[in-house]
Chains A and B, each alone.
Chain A
Amino acid sequence: MRQPPEPAGSTTLPPLSPDTVLWRRIPAFHIGFDKNRGCRVVSSAAFDDDPDGQPMSVIVARPGREPREVLRGHEGFGVVAFSVQVAEAADQVVVRSPTADEPDHAHVIGPKTPSRRKRLRDGARWVVRPPEWADVQLP
Chain B
Amino acid sequence: MAEPVSTGSEDTGTVVKLSRADRPTTPAWLRPTVRDLKALLALPKGWNSYQAAAIDPGAILAGLDLLAETMPPNAPAPSVLPMSRGGVQLEWHERGVDLEVSIDPDGHIMAAYEDEQGAEWEDDLTEHHARLAEVLSDLASRA
B-contacting residues of A (Cβ < 8 Å)?
Answer: 25, 27, 29-30, 32-37, 41, 43-46, 48-52, 54, 56-57, 74, 77, 113-115, 118
Contacts and interface: CB of A to CB of B under 8 A. Distances in A.
A29 B93 contact: no
Interface string B100-114: 111000000011100
Given A57-B50, A114-B100, A33 B110 contact: no
Contacts of A118: 100, 112
A28 to B, nearest CB: 10
Contacts, number: 87
Interface string B37-53: 00000010001111111
Contact of A32 (B79, B86, B102): B79
A33 B93 CA distance: 8
Nearest to A25: B49
Interface of B: 43, 47-53, 79, 81-86, 89, 91, 93-98, 100-102, 110-112, 116, 122
Given A33-B93, A54-B51, A113-B110, 17 more contacts: A25-B48, A25-B50, A27-B48, A29-B47, A29-B82, A32-B79, A33-B79, A35-B93, A36-B97, A36-B98, A37-B93, A43-B100, A45-B83, A46-B48, A48-B84, A50-B85, A77-B49
